Amino acid sequence: MFSMLPEDQLTLLTKVVRRNSVARGATIITAGDVTDSLYVVISGRFKVIIGDKSGREIILAMLGPGEYFGEMVPIEDNPRSASVIAAEHGELLVLAKHEFRKYLQDNFEMAMTMLRCAVQRLRAADRKIGRLALMDVYGRVAGHLLEMSKTINGRHVIAQKIVNQQMADTIGASREMVSKVMKDLRAGGFIEMRGNSIYLRDNIALID
């Protein structure tokens, strides 16, 4: 988000942000609270979660270095709809609401970037909700894998280890069911495991 800024504006921002070290399991934002800061991830991973009617956690997103949350702070004072918890030890840059709002007022390009990012996140959330409502677990797993993948040499690849429990929390299924589906996808030739990387075959997009 900030990579597009000229050096003088980055220097200005560094004077008004503070750097926080966060322990694994720490709650940064609690759903229902009103927050007053924008958070930018420097290191570590942070999960954005909501609870369903049964009290089970559903992970809406996993945020890593360079990503951020709390971007709606300058334009609304409503309670947060989701909680944010540190999945591992990390560091955050924290920008207070009044400083963030002042900066956006003085920087049209940054304001437009924030708006575009907010729209993209809303669309991604809508797609996820649609999968949870309409697809069976096979479709949810396939959709999640495609969402996490990046195109490398013409192939969809997930170049990181997938934790079945985290995937289960993300798609609203049990860990046991996710493990079974992953096994079936391997056996059916939809995915190929190479070390910690997962290569997706084109036919995985046909699963619904």
Closest CA to 122 of 77, 65, 61, 172: 61
The number of beta carbons lying within 10 Å of the beta carbon of residue 190 is: 22
CA atoms within 13 A on the CB side of 176: 0
- Please state, in angstroms and rounded to a whole number, the distance separating the CA atoms of residues 138 and 182: 9
Write down the residue that tokens 């997962």 correspond to: 198
Fold type of domain 7-133: Jelly Rolls (2.60.120)
pLDDT tens digit sequence for 19-45: 999 999 999 999 888 888 889 898 999
Handedness of CA 126, 26, 172, 182 (dihedral sign): positive
**In the chain, domain spans:** 7-133, 136-206
Domain 136-206 listed as CATH 1.10.10.10: yes
pLDDT for 56-109, tens place per residue? 677 788 888 888 888 777 667 778 888 999 999 999 989 888 887 777 777 777
Amino acid at 87: A
The reported pTM is: 0.58
